[in-house]
């Protein structure tokens, strides 16, 4: 049952030599082979490369040179540039793009000796909440394959949930780590903006985008986050701030921890069944000695409108480089330059990407900039101030990650507004640059539910500690979708 | 009707950094296409810009030099438009928060008067690549070597009233950026170019006329011609009852005319917004102090000092400060030989003429400042005369060694031995009895003739002062 083990268990076995990285990697490749045709988590499987890396990891381990991650394979979200491997970002635009360099996140994990199993599916250019906008088809939720896994990091969350990978990288611009983690019953953390380098991570909305891990537990997330966090001189927005040992603080006591419950996160629109399991989780914290404080984040209702001005504005500019000139898709037989631009972009971008480019272009246009972009920036500051006030009273903020459990494939694909509302609880903290995570609590009607925890800037350690303590008391995070657990080589 | 011309210039100066504004790729001119473009310059997916601090330092130097506040807080913004040689689909520039704020610069007009031209702002931005339309049947070639090269765009107030003033201002900025060492100022390579905003109005009219922008002027001659042409064009339109339309025009030096590129209606909406990949630039007092320390003496200060310290004429001071290299050359010579007048005469005279003829810059001079100093010392200590020195200079320029070597090898040492000079004089007097008689009869003008004869006989080496004195004695006696 290698795929049911935690990273630290696997690591111990690898260090002892009772398990080799090649065996472990092959085990996951077999599982991908068997199940991914159903789930569609992977856009590209890099089996040969993974086994070669595993061999090297075994050499490192034999020499005693590795660390706690050495030899453990992983999946990379297809938003990270991987040298020599197609990096398509879920888009037809980059279907032919083989990245000639590694993202810093990839570089760091390669250096740890973590074999990459392949590239994980995602919404096109990370724009979406269901992974349905991927050029490579939707990923299925392992708990119910008629349902979405969430998005944009749906491939990462579903692959971890089905244990096709022990751990995966993901990115979060408005909830893209936490929302799929919640819908797939896994644990994910979106770090403070600036905590993890964005170099080599294809930009959607630069002032929001942040990379983080999705794994089976907070403990596993702590290990991976420690490896990817830190200042990078190639990213001017990464911040020079010490990276603590996230594993060391996991067992700190929660006695006296002040948990804020924003009343805006428990109001209209929240499925009562979800409210009930979230409240049960909060009761567990009370039992661990935490104190509950009701708080208010009064500008919460402005988060989605502000986000859907600012993120598209940035995306409209970020995606201008995809013009068919130097790489990526170019239309056939362009008549002239304008024709080349219009058809290359028109034919290669999907509906949602086009919608956001148009919204963003409009918001930045002369005569509208003040009314949209500048106003949204002001709201961004108000929302940030809400959190600043809240963290004067409490240590962490808790609430549901999503208002509903996983919805059906196709259910919201023609209703983008209702799709946007799936991120109602996750978006505000991206506006404020704060760290947040989602961890599974009791399921509702067989579908996972996520508890979101939010902390102040650079308090990822606190988040992981709070999540880990819950996972020590409960076993929700160890629930696995039975349909994908049956093959076992032991 | 009497018309007045109104001109404002936007000068694009390529900063002399080794690497690009936001990437580590080299900026050297003339490399094979696309060999100096890294992943950032190619705008690959996922790349990020990192500010080159050297470019910021250079912008700050310029700000201090024109007496402008250097903003404590400036912001890079994206200027969005599509063009094949603009890989990001936007240019990173500065919009409402430039690094250098309002300053000014003095120019000298033709009548010798000084006029102050306002500099509205100067901001940092990246250059685009180049589109190559020849050599590619049915295609356009893209060279991204220049993509991302740092530019300082210096925007003037509409303070200039003639093409000549515009040229004087452009030259002044050109001189300044080279003095500061922040640009090589090479106009042929495009390191220094400008866009000119030109309009006309009736003399006495308050409001400005509608302007046309002439793009990409890269020589002083073209600027003057383009502006003059544009002024005529606009006056013709208005006098014929028409209206000038706001548009962008291009100057064609072959036909000596400007023609329309695009009108205001077709202008891009650049959708400027702060670049989220770059933090605002915070400039501290300490940083500015560091920059102030390395700020060289500026041309105007130097000219004034030269006039006072070396008692130079306006003209000499102007010529000798025309570049930092020229000024340094002169000062080395003046201080080395201890005679600023001689130093100025030689540098602005024989040396300047020689360099001009050979089309060399001062830094390429085959006669080093030390060589010239050595030669002037030999004039001052009477080893050679000023006339002979010209021969020595020529020989040094040809690479025949320093002054002492040349004097020695060519036997040019001045004859100062009175006995030797007297012997020559005696011979000349003996051979020119007729002229001696006329001289003694009162035709004193003939002294020149005798001096010439003596100098000729001595092959120029006789000390002219002694020759004069001895001749007068002998002729009168």
pLDDT tens digits, A336-354: 999 999 999 999 999 999 9
Q: Is the pLDDT of residue A88 over 90?
A: yes
Task: Decide: B142 and B129 in contact? Cβ < 8 Å.
Answer: yes
Number of domain units in chain A: 1
Q: Is the pLDDT of residue A436 over 90?
A: yes
Top-confidence residue, A193 or B460:
A193
pLDDT at residue number B385: 85
> For all residues of chain A together, what is the average pLDDT?
96
User: Domain containing A25: what range?
Assistant: 2-253+479-484
Question: Is residue A230 a part of any domain in this protein?
Answer: yes
> A438 an active-site residue?
no
Chain A residues within 8 angstroms (CB to CB) of chain B: 80-81, 87, 89, 94, 97, 99-101, 103, 198-203, 205-207, 233-237, 313-314, 316-317, 319-323, 325-327, 337, 341, 361, 364-366, 369, 373
pLDDT tens digits, B400-444: 999 999 998 888 888 888 888 888 998 888 898 888 888 888 888
pLDDT at residue number B263: 67
Contact A81 B87 (CB under 8 A): no
Which of A94, A325, A353, A357 should be substituted to probe chain B, the one whose Cβ sees the most B Cβ atoms within 10 Å?
A: A325
pLDDT tens digits, B200-250: 999 999 999 999 999 999 999 999 999 999 999 999 999 999 999 999 999
pLDDT tens digits, A259-299: 999 999 998 889 999 999 999 999 999 999 999 999 999 99
pLDDT at residue number B261: 83
Interface A:B, Cβ pairs < 8 A: 99
Q: Is the pLDDT of residue A169 over 60?
A: yes
CA distance B155 to chain A (A): 22
Chain A residues touching B273 at Cβ < 8 A: 313, 317, 364, 369, 373
> A156 an active-site residue?
no
pLDDT tens digits, A234-249: 999 999 999 999 999 9
Beta bridge mates, B210: none
Chain A residues touching B269 at Cβ < 8 A: 365-366
Q: ∠ CA(A443), CA(A445), CA(A451), 5° rounding? A: 25
Question: Is residue A435 a part of any domain in this protein?
Answer: no
* Active-site annotation holder among A91, A152, A344, A438: A152
Looking from the CA of A150 toward its CB, the CA atoms found within 13 Å total 41
pLDDT tens digits, B5-43: 999 999 999 999 999 999 999 999 889 999 999 999 999
Question: Is residue A433 a part of any domain in this protein?
Answer: no
pLDDT at residue number A415: 82
pLDDT tens digits, A25-84: 999 999 999 999 999 999 999 999 999 999 999 999 999 999 999 999 999 999 999 999
Top-confidence residue, B463 or B397:
B397
Which of B48, B148, B282 should be substituted to probe chain A, the one whose Cβ sees the most A Cβ atoms within 10 Å?
A: B48
Question: Is residue A155 a part of any domain in this protein?
Answer: yes
Which of B45, B51, B130, B268 should be substituted to probe chain A, the one whose Cβ sees the most A Cβ atoms within 10 Å?
A: B45
Contact A94 B45 (CB under 8 A): yes
Which of B23, B41, B46, B86 should be substituted to probe chain A, the one whose Cβ sees the most A Cβ atoms within 10 Å?
A: B46
Round to whole Å and give the CA distance between A82 and A59: 23
Confidence of residue A107 (pLDDT cuts 50, 70, 90): very high
CATH of the domain at A7: 3.90.1300.10
Contact B46 A100 (CB under 8 A): no
Chain A residues touching B133 at Cβ < 8 A: none
Contact A87 B89 (CB under 8 A): no
Q: Measured between alpha carbons, how far apart are the two ends of chain A, in Å? A: 4
SS3 track for A261-324: EEHHHCCCCCCHHHHHHHHHHHHHHHHCCCEEEEECCCCHHHHHHHHHHHHHHHHHHHHHHCCC
pLDDT tens digits, A115-163: 999 999 999 999 999 999 999 999 999 999 999 999 999 999 999 999 9
Contact A323 B50 (CB under 8 A): no
Nearest chain B residue (CA) to A373? B273
Task: Decide: A133 and A123 in contact? Cβ < 8 Å.
Answer: yes
Q: Is the pLDDT of residue A489 over 60?
A: no
Confidence of residue A490 (pLDDT cuts 50, 70, 90): very low
Of A326-335, A426-435, B29-38, B426-435, give the lowest mean pLDDT range: B426-435
Task: Decide: B196 and B228 in contact? Cβ < 8 Å.
Answer: no
pLDDT tens digits, B357-391: 999 989 899 999 999 999 999 999 888 888 889 99
Contact A341 B277 (CB under 8 A): no
Nearest chain B residue (CA) to A208? B276
Confidence of residue B342 (pLDDT cuts 50, 70, 90): very high
Contact A237 B279 (CB under 8 A): yes
Percent of chain A having pLDDT more than 90? 95
Round to whole Å and give the CA distance between A255 and A286: 9
Contact A373 B48 (CB under 8 A): no
**Is B90 an 8 Å CB contact of chain A?**
yes
Q: What is the mean pLDDT of residues A221-229?
A: 98
Q: ∠ CA(B176), CA(B182), CA(B188), 5° rounding? A: 80
Confidence of residue B460 (pLDDT cuts 50, 70, 90): confident
Question: Is residue A282 a part of any domain in this protein?
Answer: no
Chain B residues touching A336 at Cβ < 8 A: none
Give CA B118 to chain center in angstroms.
Answer: 20
Task: Decide: A106 and A199 in contact? Cβ < 8 Å.
Answer: no
Q: Looking at the predicted complex, does its ipTM rise above 0.85?
A: yes
Confidence of residue B264 (pLDDT cuts 50, 70, 90): low
> A176 an active-site residue?
yes
Contact A206 B276 (CB under 8 A): yes
Question: Is residue A437 a part of any domain in this protein?
Answer: no
pLDDT at residue number B433: 86
Question: Is residue A180 a part of any domain in this protein?
Answer: yes
Contact A199 B46 (CB under 8 A): yes
Q: What is the mean pLDDT of residues B332-347?
A: 95
> For all residues of chain B together, what is the average pLDDT?
93
Task: Decide: B455 and B464 in contact? Cβ < 8 Å.
Answer: yes
Question: Is residue A445 a part of any domain in this protein?
Answer: no
Query: How many of the other CB atoms lie within 10 Å of CB of A468?
Result: 25
């Amino acid at each position: 049952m290698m795929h049911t083990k935690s990273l630290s268990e696997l690591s111990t076995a690898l260090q002892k030599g009772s398990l080799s990285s090649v065996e472990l990697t092959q085990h996951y490749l077999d599982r991908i082979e068997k199940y991914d045709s159903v789930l569609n988590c992977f856009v590209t499987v890099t089996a040969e490369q993974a086994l070669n890396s595993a061999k090297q990891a075994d050499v490192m381990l034999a020499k005693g040179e590795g660390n706690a991650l050495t030899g453990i394979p992983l999946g990379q979200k297809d938003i990270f540039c991987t040298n020599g491997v197609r990096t398509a970002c879920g888009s037809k635009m980059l279907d032919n793009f083989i990245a000639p360099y590694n993202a810093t996140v990839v570089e760091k994990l390669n250096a740890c000796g973590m074999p990459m199993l392949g590239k994980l599916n995602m919404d096109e250019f990370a724009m979406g909440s269901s992974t349905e906008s991927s050029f490579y088809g939707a990923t299925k939720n392992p708990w119910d394959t008629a349902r979405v896994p969430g998005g944009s990091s749906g491939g990462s969350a579903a692959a971890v949930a089905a244990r096709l990978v022990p751990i995966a990288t993901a990115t979060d611009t408005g909830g893209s780590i936490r929302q799929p983690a919640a819908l797939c019953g896994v644990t994910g953390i979106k770090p403070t903006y600036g905590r993890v380098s964005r170099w080599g991570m294809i930009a959607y909305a630069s002032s929001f985008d942040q990379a983080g891990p999705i794994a089976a537990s907070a403990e596993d997330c702590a290990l991976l986050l420690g490896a990817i966090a830190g200042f990078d001189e190639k990213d001017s927005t990464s911040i020079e701030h010490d990276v603590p040992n996230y594993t060391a603080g996991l067992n700190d006591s929660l006695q006296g921890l002040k948990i804020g419950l924003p009343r805006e996160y428990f109001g209209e629109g929240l499925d009562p069944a979800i409210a009930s399991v979230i409240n049960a989780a909060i009761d567990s914290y009370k039992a661990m000695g935490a104190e509950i404080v009701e708080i208010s984040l009064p500008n919460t209702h402005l988060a989605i409108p502000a986000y859907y001005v600012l993120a598209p504005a940035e995306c409209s500019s970020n995606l201008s480089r995809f013009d068919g000139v130097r790489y990526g898709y170019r239309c056939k037989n362009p008549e002239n330059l304008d024709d080349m631009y219009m058809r290359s972009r028109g034919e290669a971008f999907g509906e949602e990407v086009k919608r956001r480019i148009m919204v963003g272009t409009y918001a930045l246009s002369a005569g509208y900039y003040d009314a949209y972009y500048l106003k949204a920036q002001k709201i961004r500051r108000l929302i940030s101030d809400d959190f600043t006030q809240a963290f004067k009273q409490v240590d962490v903020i808790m609430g549901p990650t999503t208002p509903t459990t996983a919805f059906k494939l196709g259910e919201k694909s023609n209703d983008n507004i209702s799709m946007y509302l799936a991120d109602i609880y996750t978006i505000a903290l991206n506006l404020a640059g704060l760290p947040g995570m989602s961890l599974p609590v009791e399921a509702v009607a067989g579908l996972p539910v996520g508890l979101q925890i939010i902390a102040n800037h650079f308090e990822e350690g606190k988040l992981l500690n709070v999540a880990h303590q819950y996972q020590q008391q409960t076993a929700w995070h160890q629930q696995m979708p039975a349909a994908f657990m049956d093959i076992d080589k032991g | 009707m009497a018309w007045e011309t109104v001109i404002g210039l936007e000068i694009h100066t390529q900063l002399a950094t080794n690497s690009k504004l936001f990437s580590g790729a080299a900026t050297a001119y003339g490399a094979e296409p696309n060999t100096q473009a890294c992943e950032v310059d190619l705008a690959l997916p996922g790349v990020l810009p990192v500010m080159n601090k050297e470019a910021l330092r250079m912008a700050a130097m310029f700000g201090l030099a024109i007496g402008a506040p250097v903003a404590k807080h400036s912001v890079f913004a994206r200027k969005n438009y599509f063009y094949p040689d603009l890989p990001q689909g936007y240019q990173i520039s500065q919009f409402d928060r430039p690094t250098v704020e309002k300053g000014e610069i003095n120019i000298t007009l033709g009548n010798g008067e000084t006029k102050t031209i306002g500099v509205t702002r100067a901001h940092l931005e990246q250059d685009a690549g180049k589109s190559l339309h020849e050599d590619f049947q049915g295609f356009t070639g893209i060279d991204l070597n220049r993509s991302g090269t740092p530019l300082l765009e210096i925007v003037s107030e509409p303070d200039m009233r003639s093409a000549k003033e515009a040229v004087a201002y452009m030259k002044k900025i050109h001189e300044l950026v080279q003095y500061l060492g922040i640009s090589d100022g090479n106009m042929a390579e495009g390191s220094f170019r400008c866009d000119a905003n030109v309009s006309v109005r009736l003399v006495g009219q308050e409001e400005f006329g509608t302007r046309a922008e002439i793009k990409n002027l890269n020589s002083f001659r073209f600027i003057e011609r383009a502006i003059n042409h544009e002024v005529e064009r606009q006056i013709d339109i208005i006098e014929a009852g028409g209206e000038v339309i706001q548009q962008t025009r291009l100057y064609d030096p072959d036909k000596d005319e400007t023609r329309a590129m695009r009108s205001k209606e077709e202008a891009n909406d650049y959708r400027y917004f702060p670049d989220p990949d770059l933090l605002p630039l915070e400039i501290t007092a300490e940083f500015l102090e560091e920059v102030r320390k390395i700020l060289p003496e500026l041309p105007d200060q130097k000219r004034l000092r030269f006039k006072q310290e070396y008692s130079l004429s306006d003209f000499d001071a102007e010529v000798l400060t025309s570049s930092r290299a020229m000024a340094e050359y002169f000062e080395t010579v003046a201080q080395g030989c201890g005679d600023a007048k001689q130093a100025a005469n030689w540098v602005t005279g024989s040396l300047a003429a020689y360099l001009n003829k050979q089309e060399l810059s001062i830094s390429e001079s085959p006669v080093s400042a030390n060589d010239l100093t050595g030669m002037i010392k030999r004039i001052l200590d009477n080893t050679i005369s000023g006339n002979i020195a010209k021969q020595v200079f020529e020989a040094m320029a040809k690479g025949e060694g320093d002054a002492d070597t040349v004097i020695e090898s060519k036997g040019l040492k001045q004859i100062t031995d009175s006995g030797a000079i007297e012997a020559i004089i005696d011979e000349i007097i003996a051979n020119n009895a007729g002229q001696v008689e006329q001289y003694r009869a009162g035709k004193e003008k003939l002294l020149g003739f005798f001096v010439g004869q003596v100098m000729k006989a001595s092959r120029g080496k006789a000390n002219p002062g002694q020759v004069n004195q001895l001749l007068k004695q002998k002729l009168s006696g």
